[in-house]
Structure formats: C-alpha cells, structure tokens
Amino acid sequence: MDDIVGDKNAKFKELYNQDGVFLRQAGEMYTPMFGCTGSLYLWEHISDAESKPEVPSRFLEWRPQDFVELKTALDEGSEEWTLIESVKKRCRTSSGNMVKDFLNSIGNLNVCFSNIKSLRCSKHDVLTTFYDGSCELLASFVFPTSESREHFLGTIQAFVRLQPTRRDKSLFIVYDAASPGFKDLEKSFAALDLKTDSSFWSLLKNIKSNPYEKSMEAFAKVTGYVYNSVDDEEHYMAQDDLQRSISEIGDDASAYAVYDIPNCLPMRVDYPRCNPLTREQWRAQLNGEGQLEDVESIKTLIFRGGISPDIRRVVWKFLLGYYPWDSTEKERHALDISKMESYYKIKMQWTTFSKEQEDNFSDFSQRKSLIEKDVNRTDRVLDFYAGENNYNIFSLNNILLTYLLYNFDLGYVQGMSYLLSPIYMLLRCEVEAFWCFVGFMKQVMSNFDYDQNAMKEQLKSMYLLVNFIDPQLSKYFEDHECANMYFCFRWLLVWYKRELQQDEVARLWEVLWTGYPCKNFHLLIGVAILEHERDALMGDNNGFTEILKFINELTGKLDINLMINHAEGIYHQIKDADHLTDAVRNILGIPVAEASGLQSKPEDDRSPRKGVSEPDEIEFEKSIYSNFLSSSTGRLVFLFRP
Amino acid sequence: MANSSIAAVSFKVVLLGKGCVGKTSLVLRYVEDKFNGKHITTIQASFLNKKINIDGQRLTLAIWDTAGQEKFHALGPIYYRSANGAVLVYDITDVDSFQKVKTWVKELRKMLGRDMCLAIVGNKMDLEEERQVPVEEAEEYASKVGATHWFTSAKLNQGVEEMFVGLARDMLAKNALAGTLSRQSSIRRNMLVVTDDEPAPAKGCCSSGA
C-alpha cells in the first residue's frame, strides 16, 4: 500500500475527487499529517486485458495539500516562528523539521478499498472513518460538506453495499458487490418489484442515496408496508423474500460482530511535545505598553513545550497570578511596589511577637515549630538548600510563617514546603515567591483541608478516569482492594513534586498552570503513569501494599515529558469517545457541545451501553469503606463521613 | 500449638506518631542501619520489609512508615488496618507528641480491640537534657494500656533493634496463643479477647519450639 499510484498513474481511472478533506486520524506513521487538509481521490485500476473478469482493485488516496504548501515554505527557508504560525491551525503539534523530514520520507496516504470492511458515518458532522476487518482504524476524514460526503458514498455504492449494524446505526458493514450476501440483497429487491409504488420508491431511493441513514428502520417500514398492503397478492409473495433477505442480513451482521465496537476508545493520537517558549517568542508578544498581545497563544506554547529556563522567572509570575496577563509594564511596576509593601506588613505581624505573646498563642507556636521542622527536611539534598544555616532555608521559613498569618484558617500542613521550594528556588526573592506561592495555593488549597474531602474527590475521579481508559486496570484495583487509589495520594497532594527532579517539577507545573487542555489535567498525568506501568502494577497479584511500594519507588524514574504527552493523548481519546459519560465529562470540564456529536444526539439509543460504561460509583464507595477495616467498619465510617 | 513454629510468619507493623518525632529514622536505622538527620518528610506512607529470626522462628516484619501530621490522621485506618503491631513514637523533648500517642492508643483500642501489640517509644534519648516527658509518667501510661515501653535513639542507634525484636516477640506470643501461627493473622476474632492483658506467658511456648 506504500505506493499504489506511483508512476503507474496512467493505469488508474479517477472515480472521485474532493478537495478540502481534513485528515483526522490514520495509521501511526501518518501522525504528522493529522489535522491537515488535502484532496481525497478514489482510484480504480484499469486491467490490462479487458477480458479478465476480476474486479478491478480500487483504493482511496489522500494527498495533503497543506503539506505541499508547507514544504514549499520550508524550502524557501522561512523562520521557525513563521512556521509555527502557519502550522498552528492544521497540525500545531509538529515542529517544522519533523514535518519536513516526514515529507521527504513518506508519500501520500493510500487505503486499498478491499481492506475497508466497515465505515462509520457520524451523523452530526461529516466525519467518516474507515476500519479494516479487525476493528483497526484505517483512516478518518472530515469532508468539507455533507454534500461532498454524500457524493462520495454515492460513488462507492456503485460497487459496494453499505449495511448498517444492528446495534450501532452509524456503523456500516461494507459488502463487496461480488460477495454472495450482496447478490441476495439485490435479488430480494428485484423480487419485490416495487417500482409502481411511489412511497416504496422513495424509501428505497433513500436507502440507496443515503445509506448511512438508518436503513434498518427503512427495512422495518418496508416490511410494515408489505404486511399492510393486504390487497396485493404479489406483495405477499414478496414478503417472504423480504423476510428471508432481512434474516440473511441479520445473520451476516452477527457474523461481523467484531465491527460492533461499543466501548472502543478512539485511537490514541500522539501529540509530540514542542520546544519551550523562548525569550524571543515572549518578547514578540509584548506591545509598546509591555502588554501581552495574544495570551492564548502564549499559554498554548507553554502548554506544548513549557518555558525556557531563562525567562521562567518572568513568566511564572504571570502564570501564578502575581501579574495579571493583561497588565502593562507600568502597572507591573506599581504592583511590584504594592506587593512588597503588603508582604512586609503581614510579615511584621509575626516578627513582632514577643516571646510571651507567642507562648500564649499555642495555635501559632505549634504551627511555627512544625514549619521549622519541615523546612529543615525540605529538598536538603539540593545544593541550593543544603548545609547548615542555609539562608534559603531561612527564607522558606519566613515565607511559610507569613503565609500562616495570611491564611491562618488553613494553617500549615505538611507538603506545603514542597510546593514552595521550586518557586523560591527560581525567584530567589521572598516577596515574589510569597505571592506566587499564594497563587499556587489558591489552586491546590483544598488538598490541605482537614476533612481531606478534596483529596478523596480527586482519588475518586482518578478511579473513574482509569475505569474509562483502562477498565481492566480499574477492575484489577477493585479486585485487590485498591479502588480507593490511596497509593496516588502523594502525587496529587504535591503535584508529583516528590516523584521528580526539581527541573522536571518546574516543567510539569508550568504546563499544568496553563489550565490547558482541560480541567484537572494533573489527574490525567497520573492516569498516564498508571497506564504506563499497568503491567507491573497488575503483575504478581499485587495488593495495596505492593502497589503503594511500587508507586513510591517510581520516584526519579518517571519520564515526565512522555507522561504529559500520553496524558494529552488520553485527554483527546476521552473527549472524542462515543461513550463519554457525564461523570467523566464533569471531571475534565468538557462541555457537552465539545463532546463527540454522537453522544448528545437524543435519538441515539445508547441505553444498552450505559450499563457497561457507567463507572460504578457505588462499588467505588464500598471499596473505600471496606478498605479501612474488615470487622468494625460501622464505627469507622464517621472518620470519612463527618 | 508450638509445633508449627518452623513455618515463616509475616507481621504487619505500623509506625504512628506526631510529625518529626523520628518514625522514618527508626525504620531506616532498623532496616538499613542508616541515619540522616536531614531526611525528607514522609508524605503518605512508605513501606519496608525486615526479615528476622527469633529463637529459630523466621519472620518477616512488613513495616509501614506513615505521615505524622494531624491533617493526615484520617489516612491512619488505611495503614493500621490488619496490622499486628503498632509502634507509637513520641519525642521525649515534646510533651505534645506524647499526647498524640495517647490519641492513637485510644483510636487503635477502639477500632481493633486488644488484638494488636503496642509498643510506645520515647525517641531522641540522645537529647536527655531537654527531656520534657517524665520517664515514670510514660512507663506508667504504657503499662496501664497494655503496651510495652521503650527508649530509643535512632541517631545513636540505641534501643532500636531491641524495641522491634521485643515487639516481634509479643506478636509471636499473641499469634501462638491465637493458634493461627500458620496463617496470616489478619483475621481478627473477638473470642481471643482472653489473651487481653497477659501477653507475657506465651513467650516460653514460642522459644521452646526452636
């Protein structure tokens, strides 16, 4: 299938040609072309000897139009920045060089028509997906208009018959015209001889011209009509034929059960990571007032590749709310001053406590001693925080004590020092680090609530996501008393800080702070890790103890860029899944409209699937409680249901 | 009852106590014979195995080290459930940490009854001159609640091994009495309450099995 057209172009007849067809997905080797538009062709091979009775082979070809333009642009030596701009909409995940290399190494996308065993026609949009005989996706296209798709479907029906499956009416089995099933179908239609009846005609015409519509329904109507037309004897006879052909189709459809893929996730698409945001890119976005022109594209760049270390100091202050995104240079200058003033005002509140005052304020002095103990145990292996009487440890202590006064209700909780450490290490300024820490804490404060409800909620969401992505793994957790997911506690409490090196933490956090591509993306990072380690997790009949131990020992072994990359792929799989549930949608904040069209279609009968795909929350709750104690659960519950 | 003492047994031990009293240091000293005054805060929990042989009885201690802070108290049950023994650690220079031990004792007795062996440990005995928790008070409390009491210094490696071995002996004795030596004793039965306040007599039975 590498080069079906090649030089032999002359021997092929063009059956169909459509420009502006968007390639959504195909085999892995075509990844850089995903999201590009191009021309779709349908070619038919013209046999050398016309007398040969064999069916001529046909194939689909898709030529990436953008890529031709892009390649030209590349060859002309455009700057990288221009390139990113021009690629952004179509395939924003690819870096320029990758595209170029790719273009040199691979031709167009070709799919042998005989390999297509089924196709899915989404009713809402014009997305059309082709599958082979083992449920593997061959290619997925978005046609420019519904007319162009209808024209395409009309064309292919010259030599194939499309038969909707019983359970999923947007999925069609592709029958070759030469197959016996197809001939039977033809015969029974012929036997009906319904040309005199206009309503029948329109029905049949519908089936022929709009086969992706619910043809089975049409069949039902045909049957109904035949049964009801009592005064036409011929119809009685035809009725038998019709019934037979329907039952044959039915049998055939069940033989093709493999095509019915109720809870199949869309194929994982690779979203390669890009280069970090550079100083030049950042500067290019600042106008005369020092105001950022296009915040969204800056955030996108940060999400895609993180921030180059030399400008992290500036950009983190935006990400953590120290500076508003739309602030001008002048406003930022004023903010620097006012933030400094207010920091020292709060700091003074505790620095001026007398010994006596402190002794009489046990809530404060207890927390103070806890902070002291903790900063002495925070990242001391890093040079920056190492050694006796390290000034940086002293600063961590100051910032945390000031934060204690700033948010006394929350108090100090173990873990906070780890959230502060990377921020202070980067900014090296108490005032800035304090306010950036405040910004970060706003996002994760509930992690440190006394009742731990926010943590439990996240662990539960994590379970639901795993259940959606990898039901086998979630089942394993359930069967091994780990469905409470407590082994992920540390990940979520301090955003993987304890699993990663300081520079990796910085990269992960800045990506997460963009808030892209969805709510709670940090959970998907965890899902990506679990999925990546699934075999080890499920090996040796591991229980909670072994899993916790395994997870603890992942520290220092994670490839965080790869995990971000996987997490993004998972996000898109979830978002585009046909069986996306509200529970999962809510976790990630995916609006209904953005979700795959099939799901929201009211007439879509999804009820048989629901029971399978809805994650069992009751089971999850049960497992949480049962995990605490086998004999005296009743008494324990109060701890978790205050 | 003692005839099955050759079979290796495994006990689950959980370390509980206020933040920064030295739980992790005790485990690291015992299992790896290491000490680092500037180790990292335990968030969540960690887990280490120690294989020992007491009077010919091979046993594995599965030791769970937990996060100490009050806010993580709610996580306790996950770790102490089905534990055979608990090491309740306080810092002899910190009165409050001893109060926290009392809270844990209360919770464990309430949740798990008296099946669990308890060892109350006053750590940081190298800081004797800064002692805030009186020896008599601590020992008296321990005997009152049916726990053993130990003084340790993870830093100087004093009393650490003795404490863990002592706890292991208690757990073996309790296990032997329960007649469940050949099995993991994670199943708790109320009828075993008989052994409540006298864990000592069983010791002999176990050592003779060697």
Whether the CB-CB separation of A133 and A116 falls below 8 Å is answered with no
β-strand pairing of B85-91 with B9-17: parallel
Q: In this structure, what are the phi and psi dihedrals at residue A142, rounded to the nearest 5 degrees?
A: -115, 120
The alpha carbon of residue A10 and the mean position of all alpha carbons in its chain are separated, in whole angstroms, by: 43
Burial of A554 (0-12, 13-18, 19+ CB in 10 A): middle
Q: Can you tell me whether residue A14 is helix, strand or coil?
A: strand
d(CA A397, CA A417): 9
Least confident of A168-177, A342-351, B136-145: A168-177
Beta sheet of B117-123, edge-to-edge order: B45-54, B57-66, B9-17, B85-91, B117-123, B148-151
The nearest alpha carbon in chain B to A373 belongs to B20
* Neighbour count for residue A39 (Cβ, 10 Å): 15
In this complex, do B75 and A486 lie within 8 Å of one another by their Cβ atoms? yes
| Chain B hits for A552, Cβ within 8 Å | 44, 46-47
Mean pLDDT of A308-332: 96
High-pLDDT (> 70) share of chain A, %: 67
Say what the pLDDT of residue A431 is.
97
d(CA B110, CA A418): 35
In this complex, do A545 and B71 lie within 8 Å of one another by their Cβ atoms? no
* Neighbour count for residue B144 (Cβ, 10 Å): 9
| Chain A hits for B46, Cβ within 8 Å | 549, 552
| Chain A hits for B43, Cβ within 8 Å | 414-415, 418, 489-490, 493-494, 498
Amino acid at A326: D
The verdict on A450 touching B (C-beta cutoff 8 Å) is: yes
Encode A313-338 in three state secondary structure.
Answer: HHHHHHHCCCCCCCCCHHHHHHHHHH
Q: Can you tell me whether residue A579 is helix, strand or coil?
A: coil
User: In the predicted model, is pLDDT for residue A196 greater than 70?
Assistant: no
Two structure tokens written together for A303: 């999400």
Of B41, B72, B111, which has the smallest distance from its Cβ to A374's Cβ? B41
d(CA A636, CA A625): 8
Say what the pLDDT of residue A469 is.
94
Q: What is the pTM of this model?
A: 0.62
User: In the predicted model, is pLDDT for residue B81 greater than 90?
Assistant: no
Query: A227 or A181: whose pLDDT is higher?
Result: A181
The verdict on A549 touching B (C-beta cutoff 8 Å) is: yes
The nearest alpha carbon in chain A to B76 belongs to A628
Average pLDDT, chain A: 76
- Mutate one of A628, A637, A641 to test the B interface: name it (highest B CB count within 10 A): A628
Say what the pLDDT of residue B88 is.
97
Cα torsion angle, A81, A82, A88, A94, sign: negative
Phi-psi region of A437 (alpha: psi -120 to 50; beta: other; left: phi over 0): alpha
Distances in whole angstroms, Cα of residue A332 to Cα of each of A75, A292, A335, A372, B17: 42, 12, 5, 33, 47
The verdict on A457 touching B (C-beta cutoff 8 Å) is: no
pLDDT in tens, B21-73: 999 999 999 999 988 877 778 887 888 899 999 988 899 999 999 887 777 77
The nearest alpha carbon in chain B to A547 belongs to B47
Å from B7 to nearest chain A CA? 22
User: In the predicted model, is pLDDT for residue A91 greater than 60?
Assistant: no
Å from A616 to nearest chain B CA? 22
User: In the predicted model, is pLDDT for residue B17 greater than 60?
Assistant: yes
Query: A316 or A86: whose pLDDT is higher?
Result: A316
**Can you spell out the DSSP letters for A191-232?**
HH--TT-HHHHHHHHHHHH-TTTTHHHHHHHHHHHHHH-TT-
CATH 3.40.50.300 fits B9-180, yes or no: yes
β-strand pairing of A160-164 with A171-176: antiparallel
Extract the runs of DSSP E, i.e. beta strands, from A65-218.
Answer: 109-112, 118-121, 127-131, 137-142, 160-164, 171-176
Least confident of A180-194, A367-381, B120-134: A180-194
The nearest alpha carbon in chain A to B49 belongs to A549
d(CA A192, CA A189): 5
At A36, the pLDDT band (50, 70, 90 cuts) reads confident
Mean pLDDT of A570-585: 93
Omega cis (within 30) before A608: no
In this complex, do B69 and A370 lie within 8 Å of one another by their Cβ atoms? yes
Say what the pLDDT of residue A622 is.
46
Mean pLDDT of A403-426: 95
Question: Complex ipTM, two decimals?
Answer: 0.76
Of B38, B45, B112, which has the smallest distance from its Cβ to A380's Cβ? B38
User: In the predicted model, is pLDDT for residue A516 greater than 90?
Assistant: yes
β-strand pairing of B148-151 with B117-123: parallel
Two structure tokens written together for B102: 């009392």
Whether the CB-CB separation of A420 and A400 falls below 8 Å is answered with yes
Alpha helix positions (H), A445-498: 453-469, 471-479, 489-493
The nearest alpha carbon in chain B to A418 belongs to B41
Least confident of A264-268, A489-493, A524-528: A264-268
In this complex, do B78 and A451 lie within 8 Å of one another by their Cβ atoms? no
d(CA A388, CA A209): 81
User: In the predicted model, is pLDDT for residue B146 greater than 90?
Assistant: yes
Q: In this structure, what are the phi and psi dihedrals at residue A446, rounded to the nearest 5 degrees?
A: -65, -20
User: In the predicted model, is pLDDT for residue A31 greater than 60?
Assistant: yes
Buried b (16+ CB within 10 A) or exposed e, B4-18: ebeeebebbbbbbbb
Say what the pLDDT of residue A51 is.
44
What does the radius of gyration of chain B's CA atoms come to, in whole angstroms?
A: 16
pLDDT in tens, A229-256: 444 445 555 555 555 554 544 444 444 4
Say what the pLDDT of residue A181 is.
52
Of residues A245, A208, A206, the one with CA closest to residue A226: A245
Of residues A4, A29, A193, A22, the one with CA closest to residue A113: A4
Task: Determine the angle formed by the axes of helices A80-91 and A65-75, rounding to 10 degrees.
Answer: 170
The verdict on A493 touching B (C-beta cutoff 8 Å) is: yes
The nearest alpha carbon in chain B to A626 belongs to B78
Least confident of A490-499, A600-609, B14-23, B51-60: A600-609
In this complex, do B62 and A545 lie within 8 Å of one another by their Cβ atoms? yes
| Chain B hits for A448, Cβ within 8 Å | 71
Whether the CB-CB separation of A150 and A210 falls below 8 Å is answered with yes
Of A373, A415, A484, which has the smallest distance from its Cβ to B43's Cβ? A415
* H or E segment to which residue A550 belongs: helix A544-552
User: In the predicted model, is pLDDT for residue A513 greater than 70?
Assistant: yes
User: In the predicted model, is pLDDT for residue A114 greater than 60?
Assistant: yes
- Torsion, Cα of A184, A190, A193, A197 (10° steps): 90
Å from A488 to nearest chain B CA? 9
Of B45, B72, B112, which has the smallest distance from its Cβ to A548's Cβ? B45
d(CA A91, CA A22): 11
Two structure tokens written together for A613: 């795909």
